[in-house]
Structure 1
Amino acid sequence: MVHKRSQNKLKERKDKSFSKNKRKREEVNKTIENKDKELQQQQQLINNLERVEVSQNKRIQYLERQNSRINNLERVEVSQDKRMQDLERLNLRIKARESEISQENTRNLKRALGAEGRIKELNFQILNSGGGLYITGNIKGTRTLGVVYFRYIDRETSLC
């Protein structure tokens, strides 16, 4: 009987120890599960942060490209402004030269019309003078007086 009692006590101790160990194991398992959950949450946070960082890097790269485009457009705009100023100056020079040419053409036209009138007058004098014409004038800076004889050519018959 003593033996049986001691076996019972031993069994009770074993059961007690087993249940105590079981509770400890359950607590450890819960702690492990909690730690696993925490680790998963932290890993998810890390992943989210990495995604945010990648997204921010992409956004930074996009903004840098936009800034570069803006700088290029500003350079093009400055270049175009310079080109416009150059073209405006060139246009002013062209207009001034056109004005000079127009004035020169007007003078030449007046000279030509004057010369044409003088030629008509001389032709009339030649036809009426019988072939001789007295010319007075300034030729190459020298005052001259002389007689010029012309032969009249009949345009219809081409005879002298």
Structure 2
Amino acid sequence: MIKPLWIFLMVMSGISAGQYEVRVHGVKLGEIDTLKTLEEYYLKAEATNFITRLLLGHDYFVLYSEEKPDIDDAKFKKDNNMMLYAFKEAIDNKPKKKTFQNNRSRELKIECAATQCDFVYTYKKELRGEGFVKFNEKGEFMIFREEVGAIEIARI
């Protein structure tokens, strides 16, 4: 009982300690200071350059899946492809194989090995998203990539 709790605390402290970079289609959108907000199913990235702020019209970009968080000066985007669920599940649990069904038409499948978790999201049996989460040898999160939307979150 103590060992899994200890491993979880070590992994979570490693996750919350670093800074992360968000890229969309290879273009840097911003930086995330902490992944602790993933517990509430949202991620907040700070726009890091003038052009990004100008295009967004805000200082922050927030991707959320459940409730819209109360954050000032932010551009919000709803996660319709269950990316945050896949990301959170891979980081927290690294399941060997797990399937989530949001309703009859939405399905998220996650399969993990020692250093990588792969996920596939389907809507009405049509592929809508797929990607992976990679970990280093110590089990620390290194990179998340969602292939269809070309979204990438990586440790800096």
Output the TM-score relative to the length of structure 2.
0.21
Q: Which has the higher contact order (CA 8 A, sep 6+)?
A: 2
Larger helix fraction of residues: 1
Output the TM-score relative to the length of structure 1.
0.21
